[in-house]
A and B are shown apart, each in its own frame.
Chain A
Amino acid sequence: MTTPTAVLVKFKQSRRAANSRSLKRWYQNGPLLAGMIIVGIVVVVAVFAPLISPYDPIKQDLLSTLQSPSSAHWLGTDKLGRDVLSRLMWGARVDLRIGFLAVLIPFVFGSIIGALAGYFGGWFDVVVMRIVDVFFAFPFYVIVIALVFVFGSGETSIYLAIAVVSWVAYAKIVRGEVIVAKTQDYVTAARLGGMSHMRILVRHIGPNVLSQVIIYAMSDIVMDIMAIVTLGYLGLGIAPPTPEWGSMILDGQEFITTQWQQATIPGLMVVVMSLGLSWIGDGLSDLLSPDRRK
């Protein structure tokens, strides 16, 4: 017997089953868990750096410069006698804050533009896709460096430069997803039910395409952290003496023959963060769209 009620009941049952399956799975998902633990630890250290860092990260001590690791300075001191471990902890605050915040504007703006272009098509779609093509022609670092120069150095212009460059990737992903989604039966059904385009886009298509964007955002955070660290290394990022991993690597490179750990360790921190975030991304894509995994 397939009365509408029976179908509805069956649908609700299967949805409940699916929900409980994914709830049961998230903590059984190895990569996701490992990634969350890694990222969690670094974030906790960054948040509590003022309380747990052994020294003031910008206080110079010119009597004890370039010291090797010891019990007083676990990772040694830099050329101005500043404690490397403390700078590493405080640097996490800067790099992670910018890395996580910088994805927000491109995420929201790019997704909206991509969704509108994919859903409505027409001239708007054509124009948006041409703009996307133009931005894809500029390699990430070339345009970011040029924009940071134009906007002037500092945190705000890093956000701006990243936003200008990286919204296009979100727009492209969401557009592709929406084009596929809008031909699905549930959208046709919603249309026939008399729902407005906006409601369909936000309430029906939105949740279905969001998972892909969130998964991409994880790798985008990695890319943004790399960008900040790279800008710092090039001397175009956050101005000294604020501790930041990239500028720490730059400072350390000078003394690479005698104090190898100074350039090595901040880079290792980036590797650890990207490992954690890629695992979260892998785990999320397992959890959110299992049918897409090969």
Chain B
Amino acid sequence: MLRRMQFIPGRLIQTIPVVFGVTLVVFFLGHLLPGDPAIAILGEHATPARVAALREQLGLNLPLGVQYGQFLLHILQGNLGQSLTYQVPVASLVLQAVPVTLSLLLFALIISLAISIPLAGLAAAKPGGAWDYVARGYTLLGQGMPQFWVGIMLLLLLAVGLRVFPVGGYGITPLDHIYYLCLPALTMGIAMSPTIVRSLRSSTIDVLGSEYIATARSKGSSGTALFRQHVLRNAVIPTVSIIGVHLGYLVGGSIVIEKVFAIPGLGSLMLNAIFSRDFPTIQAVSLMVALFVVAVGILTDIIYTLLNPRINLSEGGEAV
């Protein structure tokens, strides 16, 4: 077990250039603003004094290399800058928003697995059968619908029509939160499920054709027990890496979904920052999200190895 985890330090070292690149992109976002970033942020009618003050605050008078060095140093200290709108440290805003978005993501992941596992299992049990067509139609439609529009349609159906769920907001108590997150999580779960269904279906078909399943069958195992004990565990492995890749996509989607349902997560923080031209906040959210994606990538590799003793990333093995 421990031997198989030896790849982790190497994997971490591999991500250093990526993390470095991410900070570079986020840093240069500010310098891509046409003209003086301070004027671009404050608008053309800002007084010279305010512009000068902001230039000072953003450290724009220093050489570029020094600015980037300071930027890195501040990140390491957990200092993500000062929000121009709220005049509080951006880090505190981000810290408030992260749990909201994370719980939304987790909830969405659970829902999408709850949709995908049975659907993929039924489709794979009889390729070309009725359930296979259902699964194929579902994937095709699911990939073709804009996420936010799915959200609005669910609102129309379940909140406006049937009045089962609230139209938006986040509630006050933790129990409220779960209730208010139902629809947005369902929206994101639906958005994520087509890819999972596709991957899980094809890997389940592969597993069902393998010899150990024939053995299990010959020993009398069948139905759900066979699926749970022998098939799922093996079929889910390739899907884990697909989920890892798509979590990043999902975080991006959550920006839009949070807007549809008025949820105070990272997405709302970013969008509000865009409209109030609060540049440090935009930078901080982009950075946090990108680092999250990088971290999920590492985590995916670890889970992948844990799930499958046959894969050994430590001995130069390739993740399939």
In the complex formed, the residue of A with least CB distance to B295 is A137
B146 and A149: CB pair below 8 A? Answer: no
Q: Looking at the complex, which of B59-67, B149-157, B216-224, B235-243 is the stretch in contact with chain A?
A: B149-157
**A274-B22 in contact given A145-B274, A267-B152 (Cβ < 8 Å):** no
Q: How far is the CA of A148 from the CA of B241 in the complex (A)?
A: 30
Q: Are A234 and B271 in contact (CB under 8 A)?
A: yes
Docked Cα-Cα span, A246 to B289, in Å, equals: 25
Interface flags, A133-172, vs B, CB<8A=1, else 0: 1111111111101110111100000000000000000000
Stretch at the interface among A62-70, A206-214, A222-230: A222-230
Partner pick for A137 among B18, B32, B256, B274, CB 8 A cutoff? B18
Asked if A249 is at the interface (CB within 8 A of a chain B CB), the reply is yes
- Asked if B144 and A139 make an inter-chain contact with CB atoms under 8 angstroms apart, the answer reads no
Task: Report the minimum CB–CB distance from B313 to chain A (whole Å).
Answer: 17
Q: Does A74 make an interface contact (CB < 8 A)? A: no
Given contacts A130-B18, A278-B140, contact A152 B34 (CB under 8 A): yes
B126 CB, nearest partner CB in chain A, Å: 16
A153 and B160 CA atoms in complex are apart in Å by 33
Asked if A270 is an interface residue, CB under 8 A from chain B, the answer is: yes
Q: Is the CB of B274 within 8 A of A236?
A: yes
Stretch from A85-93, A252-260, A284-292 at the B interface:
A252-260
A137 touches B294 (CB 8 A): yes
Whether B120 sits at the interface, judged by CB under 8 Å, is no
Determine if B146 and A226 form an interchain contact, defined as CB atoms under 8 angstroms apart: yes
Pairwise interchain contact A137-B248, C-beta atoms closer than 8 A: yes
Question: Residue B49 at the A interface, CB < 8 A?
Answer: no
CB neighbours of B260 from chain A (8 A): 253
Q: Which residues on A sit within 8 Å (CB–CB) of B252? A: 139-142
Q: Tally the A-B contacts, defined by beta carbons under 8 Å.
A: 129
Beta-carbon contact of B29 and A146 below 8 Å: yes
Report B168 CB to chain A, min CB distance, Å: 11
CB of B21 within 8 A of CB of A133, answer: yes
Q: Which of A233-248 contact B (CB under 8 A)?
A: 233-236, 246
Q: Is the CB of B160 within 8 A of A257?
A: yes
Shortest C-beta distance, B281 to chain A (Å), equals 11
A234-B148 Cα distance, complex, nearest whole Å: 10
**A138-B149 contact, Cβ under 8 Å, with A271-B144, A275-B140, A294-B202:** no
Which residues of chain B are near A230, meaning CB under 8 Å? 146-148, 256
Q: Are B17 and A130 in contact (CB under 8 A)?
A: yes
Let me know if A37 is at the binding interface, CB within 8 A. Answer: no
**Listed A/B pairs (10) with beta-carbon separation below 8 Å:** A134-B22, A138-B286, A138-B293, A139-B253, A142-B286, A145-B271, A147-B29, A234-B271, A235-B275, A275-B144
B residues at A contact (CB < 8 Å): 17-18, 21-22, 24-25, 29, 32-34, 140-141, 143-149, 152-153, 155-156, 160, 202, 248-253, 255-256, 259-260, 270-271, 274-275, 282, 285-286, 289-291, 293-294
Chain A positions near chain B (C-beta within 8 angstroms): 130-131, 133-143, 145-147, 149-152, 222, 226, 229-230, 233-236, 246, 249, 253, 256-257, 260, 263-264, 267, 270-271, 273-275, 278, 294
